[in-house]
Chains A and B, each alone.
Chain A
Amino acid sequence: MEKKLIGKRIPRNEDPRLLTGQAQFVDDVNLPGMLHAAFLRSEYAHARLVSLDVSKARQHPGVVAVYTAEDMGKDWFPGPPLVSPPPTVEDVVFHSRRQVPLVKDKIRHAGEAVAVVIAENRYIAEDAAELIEVEYESLPVIMNIEKALEADSPLVHDDLDSNLAAQLSQKKGDYEAALKEADVVIRRRIVIERGAAAAMENRGVIAQWDAKGEALTVWDTTQAPIPIRNGLAARLGLSESQVRVIAPYIGGGFGPKIMMFYPEEMLIPWLAMKLNRPIKWIEDRRENFYATTQERGQVHDVEIALTRDGKVLGLKDNFLHDTGAYDPYGLTIPINTQCHVMGGYDIKNFTSEFKVVFTNKIIVTPVRGAGRPQGIFIIERMMDFAAKELGIDPVEIRKRNLIQPNAFPYEHGIIDQAFAPLILDSGNYPAVLQKTLDAIGYEKFIKEEQPRLRKEGKYVGIGVVPFIETTGIGPYEGARVTVEASGKVNVATGIGTQGQGHFTSFAQIVAEQIGVKVTDVRIVTGDTSEFHWGTGTFASRGAVVAGSAIHAASSMVRKKIFTLASKILETPEEELELEDGAVRVADMPQRFISLGELALLANPLRGAVEPGTEPGLESTAYYGPRYGPTAFGAHAMILELDPDTMMVKVRRYVVTEDCGTVLNPLILEGQVHGGVSMGLGNSYYEQLHYDENGQLLNASFADYLLVGATEMPNIEVHHVETLSPLNELGVKGAGEAGAIPVPAVFAQAVENALSDREFEINEMPLSPNRLFELVKS
């Protein structure tokens, strides 16, 4: 079937609502009798809670209730463990320590909630929170992941022997043997620091308990409404069908809005039941810096073994991963790092061990990239160092090591974050790299432009980096597709949506199969009363997993349409055409039936539905991949740098993305642009600065610098489409891709621009100050 809608630049269905202020976000929900919550959070990063006096707050006019951990009685218990350690790897260490709804005895990071105030409005709730008197006994603070593992380090969790949260090794081939054969071995220590996801919308939870109807409704800025519903039901002793979780329009997710079971997510519904009043809590920006999860902190000791002509024989990467005060999200991030540290290269011998470390910082869970940017940064830095050491062009050394098109599926022999084997399903890596080089004019820049500009006193540099992105992991998603009597199509799926354009790209998949206009397909996501099986939006899996389920359900509906239409039009199915919302007899266009009429006939009020058939033009389908497809891409940048101020201007930025079938290039480009802007932030602007006492020193947008319109370059996006053999649509994910290689490209370009100086970039993120120090030292 020739594709009519898939692959087209179709403007988005959801935009008119969003553009006119008519899209409902969580904070827009306003219920009669609604109360408002404010949290009192610890200012200490590590302290014992000595005493807590809430009496003045309780007496404050307008306050309805104040709760502490003690007041929760037997309902106080930690959040559920979400992601367990992999069962198939030997000698895994994993100490599960989960976040608590309110601190009972010991504070483990600044910002941990100590008490919650419920009042008539937020202003009063915050006033009253200030009246709570707390006595803390401050404890030595654990901030540095290396020091945290030293024998005399204070402990984040007193019941453990050390701050080691987890440990896992993976191996492929024989690294020690590779080391013996190598002509050159390069070793480095590389440090990566934390950043914030900084979605423009802070988190929020609203809960309403209908005591007579025995039903709980929760509006939550979550990326995963179904697991939240299931977890809440279990926690509150309700049946899953009594709990409805709605994730309406969400103002950006980027990872931290995933099913972490934040303390507020556990508490607000519990309080709504307790007080039998609807309660709203909306996080403020400062809370977002102190109470929403973050990512990236790792320290790597890496070693690469090569032949003289630049062929990589083996790679060893041992690293520490900062998980913060608790580890509810398991090993997802460090395993992702492990799976990306070989990049898109054919590396036969590999060994990697990571240690996950507890610190007195906010919990770490995935942020756009989820361990992948670290892995790519490590391997690409090592490639650059190897190129320099061996006197090989940095692009050339990469070409010599890329996995070749005939090597797919390429099995690495280690496991990925979903505990599935790490298999790169398909790709044409050299073609993607070449397209990028051609687009940025690599040869010409190196040979002509750079020398000319250098003579003019301009410091310009180029960086080119290929990368892989594992995407679209299981376990599964599902969807229900229904043709309604109006002739329009309703689709319900379980994942949430945070701006990825699902209302449009999913509608294209459906419209392609069912022959309706894209605007006649209504997509419902993120409402457990509409569809209640699924996991959520993470790991660049929306288009792959939910998209494939929607495609499968649409195909089944298409079959039903043909079967019924054939009967009614008394024409064999092969002679029917489905187009423009109607089924026609191919050579008799006046003989047709509209989908609306057909839907009515499929759901008759009289007569019998034949045995073995179902009523309606409706199907539900699920898709669960054995393992996820792996996307590939390459980024190239030309930047200009002022060596006096170290201010950087990105002159050109080229991206080639191979995420298989492109559903909607307009949306895909948007995803790539946004990813690159976050990646650029992770390279040079955004860093969470903690002092040694665990105080976050830049907890506002005035001090934590997001990339603005004047810093962002225009990005040229090119596509190569190597279809994934793992799903019918041939798609691979792309949501995180843009962010993944940017720090590596940036580091290479900066070193290239300053090639007359002796320095090396072994850390991320940088800043003008830090780069200045590195170059001068």
Chain B
Amino acid sequence: MKIEGEYTFDGPREAVWKLVRDPEVLMKCLPGTQTVNQVSDTEFTGEITVRIGPFSGAFAGRVIVSDEVPPQSCTLTVEGTGKIGFLKGVGSIAMTELEDQKTLMKYTGEAQIGGKVASVGQRLFDSVSKSMVKQGLDTLNEILKSNNA
């Protein structure tokens, strides 16, 4: 399944990049995140609770950041497993500076899901993932604005 989109942040690219690379911030941004631990500079582990249709459950997972070109782009490799299924995905983000101190983030990724979430929740997964991404980026933008204020 493809996840694709773009988002405009109300702040400069350097500031957005800093937030994106801060596990504490990420934890606030991703709805349902229980813990985030930084294993190394480019590896994070954590736990997230997701609700998809009739299922809700915790996923334990790992995010690896690679191909980093600060403050411009990076690749994220995500793996998660839980009682309701598993998720694997690779995505990349690219950010460009806009006028008025704004930043455009383009993201694109390919996700595979399996288990109960796939067999029964597939129809809902698309909209759930979209709304989670939107909610996360909105929160990130709010933090960005309040930092700048």
Task: Give Cα A533–Cα B122 distance, bound, in whole angstroms.
Answer: 47
Task: Give Cα A43–Cα B86 distance, bound, in whole angstroms.
Answer: 8
A700 touching B119 in the complex, CB below 8 Å, given contacts A43-B85, A43-B86, A130-B83: yes
Which residue of A43, A698, A703 contacts B115 across the interface (Cβ within 8 Å)? Answer: A43
Task: Give Cα A695–Cα B85 distance, bound, in whole angstroms.
Answer: 11
Task: Give Cα A699–Cα B116 distance, bound, in whole angstroms.
Answer: 9
In the assembled complex, B18 has its CB within 8 A of some CB on chain A: no
Contact call A700/B115, Cβ cutoff below 8 A:
no
Residues A679-714 near B (CB distance < 8 A): 691, 693, 695-700, 702-703
Measured between beta carbons, the chain A residues less than 8 angstroms from B88 are 138
Task: Give Cα A145–Cα B88 distance, bound, in whole angstroms.
Answer: 25
In the assembled complex, A632 has its CB within 8 A of some CB on chain B: no
Q: How far is the CB of A17 from chain B (nearest CB, A)?
A: 35
Contact call A695/B83, Cβ cutoff below 8 A:
no
Contact call B119/A693, Cβ cutoff below 8 A:
no
A110 touching B114 in the complex, CB below 8 Å, given contacts A43-B85, A43-B86, A130-B83: yes
In the assembled complex, A281 has its CB within 8 A of some CB on chain B: no
In the assembled complex, A746 has its CB within 8 A of some CB on chain B: no
Residues B91-149 near A (CB distance < 8 A): 112-116, 118-120, 122-123
Which residue of B85, B112, B114, B123 contacts A703 across the interface (Cβ within 8 Å)? Answer: B123
Measured between beta carbons, the chain B residues less than 8 angstroms from A290 are 119
Measured between beta carbons, the chain B residues less than 8 angstroms from A286 are 116, 119-120
Residues A31-53 near B (CB distance < 8 A): 43-45
In the assembled complex, A289 has its CB within 8 A of some CB on chain B: yes
Q: How far is the CB of A140 from chain B (nearest CB, A)?
A: 12
Q: Which residue from chain B places its CB closest to the CB of A111 in the assembled complex?
A: B119
Task: Give Cα A115–Cα B118 distance, bound, in whole angstroms.
Answer: 21
Measured between beta carbons, the chain B residues less than 8 angstroms from A43 are 85-86, 114-116, 118
Q: How many residues from B make CB contacts under 8 Å with A?
A: 14
Measured between beta carbons, the chain B residues less than 8 angstroms from A700 are 119-120
Task: Give Cα A698–Cα B114 distance, bound, in whole angstroms.
Answer: 12
Measured between beta carbons, the chain B residues less than 8 angstroms from A702 are 120
Measured between beta carbons, the chain A residues less than 8 angstroms from B113 are 695
Q: How far is the CB of B122 from chain A (nearest CB, A)?
A: 4
A697 touching B115 in the complex, CB below 8 Å, given contacts A43-B85, A130-B83: no
Measured between beta carbons, the chain A residues less than 8 angstroms from B115 are 43, 695
Q: Which residue from chain B places its CB closest to the CB of A695 in the assembled complex?
A: B118
Bits for B66-77, please: 1 = Cβ < 8 Å to A, else 0: 000000000000
A698 touching B122 in the complex, CB below 8 Å, given contacts A110-B114, A693-B112: yes
Q: How far is the CB of B117 from chain A (nearest CB, A)?
A: 9
Q: How far is the CB of B50 from chain A (nearest CB, A)?
A: 15
Task: Give Cα A698–Cα B83 distance, bound, in whole angstroms.
Answer: 19
Contact call B119/A696, Cβ cutoff below 8 A:
yes
Measured between beta carbons, the chain A residues less than 8 angstroms from B112 are 691, 693, 695
Q: How far is the CB of B57 from chain A (nearest CB, A)?
A: 9
Contact call B122/A697, Cβ cutoff below 8 A:
yes
Task: Give Cα A338–Cα B132 distance, bound, in whole angstroms.
Answer: 51
Q: How far is the CB of A111 from chain B (nearest CB, A)?
A: 9
A703 touching B120 in the complex, CB below 8 Å, given contacts A43-B85, A43-B86: yes
Task: Give Cα A759–Cα B88 distance, bound, in whole angstroms.
Answer: 39
Task: Give Cα A43–Cα B116 distance, bound, in whole angstroms.
Answer: 8
Measured between beta carbons, the chain A residues less than 8 angstroms from B122 are 695, 697-698, 703
A699 touching B85 in the complex, CB below 8 Å, given contacts A110-B114, A693-B112: no
Measured between beta carbons, the chain B residues less than 8 angstroms from A698 are 119, 122
A693 touching B114 in the complex, CB below 8 Å, given contacts A43-B85, A43-B86, A130-B83: yes
Contact call A44/B118, Cβ cutoff below 8 A:
no
Bits for A121-137, please: 1 = Cβ < 8 Å to B, else 0: 00000000010000000
Measured between beta carbons, the chain B residues less than 8 angstroms from A110 are 114
Task: Give Cα A697–Cα B121 distance, bound, in whole angstroms.
Answer: 8
Task: Give Cα A703–Cα B113 distance, bound, in whole angstroms.
Answer: 17
Bits for A287-305, please: 1 = Cβ < 8 Å to B, else 0: 0011000000000000000
Task: Give Cα A696–Cα B118 distance, bound, in whole angstroms.
Answer: 7
Bits for A660-683, please: 1 = Cβ < 8 Å to B, else 0: 000000000000000000000000
Task: Give Cα A693–Cα B122 distance, bound, in whole angstroms.
Answer: 13
A697 touching B118 in the complex, CB below 8 Å, given contacts A43-B85, A130-B83: yes
Measured between beta carbons, the chain B residues less than 8 angstroms from A697 are 118-119, 122
Task: Give Cα A130–Cα B84 distance, bound, in whole angstroms.
Answer: 9
Q: How far is the CB of B88 from chain A (nearest CB, A)?
A: 8
Task: Give Cα A691–Cα B120 distance, bound, in whole angstroms.
Answer: 13
Q: Which residue from chain A places its CB closest to the CB of B123 in the assembled complex?
A: A703
Task: Give Cα A286–Cα B88 distance, bound, in whole angstroms.
Answer: 22
Task: Give Cα A693–Cα B111 distance, bound, in whole angstroms.
Answer: 11
Measured between beta carbons, the chain A residues less than 8 angstroms from B114 are 43-45, 110, 693, 695
Measured between beta carbons, the chain A residues less than 8 angstroms from B123 are 703
Q: How far is the CB of A114 from chain B (nearest CB, A)?
A: 13
Contact call B119/A691, Cβ cutoff below 8 A:
no
Task: Give Cα A695–Cα B121 distance, bound, in whole angstroms.
Answer: 12
Contact call B119/A289, Cβ cutoff below 8 A:
yes
Task: Give Cα A326–Cα B88 distance, bound, in whole angstroms.
Answer: 27
Task: Give Cα A432–Cα B114 distance, bound, in whole angstroms.
Answer: 49
Measured between beta carbons, the chain B residues less than 8 angstroms from A138 are 88
Q: How far is the CB of A567 from chain B (nearest CB, A)?
A: 69
Question: Which residues of B are at the interface with A, using a C-beta cutoff of 8 A?
Answer: 83, 85-86, 88, 112-116, 118-120, 122-123
What are 23 A-to-B residue pairs whose CB atoms are below 8 Å?
A43-B85, A43-B86, A43-B116, A130-B83, A138-B88, A286-B116, A286-B119, A286-B120, A289-B119, A290-B119, A691-B112, A693-B112, A695-B118, A695-B119, A695-B122, A696-B119, A697-B119, A697-B122, A698-B122, A699-B119, A699-B120, A700-B120, A702-B120
Sorted nearest first, the 10 A-B pairs with minimum C-beta distance are A43-B115, A699-B119, A695-B118, A697-B122, A43-B114, A695-B114, A130-B83, A700-B120, A696-B119, A693-B112
Question: Which residues of A are at the interface with B, using a C-beta cutoff of 8 A?
Answer: 43-45, 110, 130, 138, 286, 289-290, 691, 693, 695-700, 702-703
Beyond A43-B85, A691-B112, 8 additional contacts (C-beta under 8 Å) are: A110-B114, A286-B116, A695-B122, A696-B119, A697-B118, A698-B119, A699-B119, A703-B120
